[in-house]
Amino acid sequence: MSDYNTKKILILFAHPAMQKSRVNKHLIEPLTNIDGVTFHDLYDSYPDMYIDIEREKKLLVEYDIIIFHHPFYWYSSPAIIKEWQDLVLEFGFAYGPGGTALKGKKLMNVISTGAGRHAYTREGHNKYSIREFLRPFEQTANLCHMQYLPPFVLHDAMNINVNLDLHFFTELLRNMLTQLMNNKIDFKELASFEYMNDYFMGPES
């Protein structure tokens, strides 16, 4: 754990088809060289899906803020994240009697979606909001005595302008990590926002 003023961030990244990625390969570029931020590519570390449970538990204990960074696959995450959760968040470690190793830490998602923001509304074709689809992650945080933060969401990944819009989101993400790391975010105010993005730039129209 870090001191009161600075927080250590662990990014658990999962993308099973990086060769097809349009946005994530750009988003992650500046994240791999920030002091205080550890970028952990799960598919790169475990191409056979055989997860080193004790290694992962030690990492979780060491960091203050845990981020699942992934494309939004079938209203959830790529398979390795579910496998990671099933194996690493053990009874007696993450929850249950004596399971307080993650207590007080923060958890959030950084995701990209193919559809625009309106698609994730009651009127949109997905019918439910991103926050509703991410409820399993939020409840996981609750069960593990962690604080769940609003997600950072990049919508419309198939159509985003790589040179302009994607550069903006990359810088926004980097700024978010810096603010989290330096403990500069008002978490009470943040709780009123649907997305972490909105906290920094205001809700989309």
Residue 6 has pLDDT above 80, yes or no: yes
DSSP secondary structure of 132-181: HHTHHHHHHHHHTT-EEPPPEEE--TTT--TTTHHHHHHHHHHHHHHHHH
pLDDT bracket for residue 4 (50, 70, 90): low
- pTM for the full model? 0.93
Mean pLDDT over 126-134 rounds to 96
Q: Is residue 24 part of a domain?
A: yes
What is the structure's pLDDT at 205? 38
- Establish if 38 belongs to a structural domain: yes
Rg (CA), the chain: 16
Residue 174 in domain: yes
In a domain? residue 118 = yes
Locate 103 and state its tokens: 């207590």
- Asked if residue 204 is part of any domain, the answer here is no
Decide if 2 is inside a domain. no
Query: Domains in the chain: how many in total?
Result: 1
Domain with 36, as residue range(s), is 9-197
Report yes or no on 1 lying in a domain: no
Asked if the model's pLDDT at residue 1 lies above 60, the reply is no
- To the nearest whole number, what is the mean pLDDT of the chain? 91
Rounded Cα gap, residues 108 and 133, in angstroms: 13
Q: What's 154's domain CATH number?
A: 3.40.50.360
| pLDDT tens readout for residues 68-127 | 999 999 999 999 999 999 999 999 999 999 999 999 999 999 999 999 999 999 999 999
Q: Is residue 126 part of a domain?
A: yes
Q: Assess whether pLDDT exceeds 50 at residue 3.
A: no
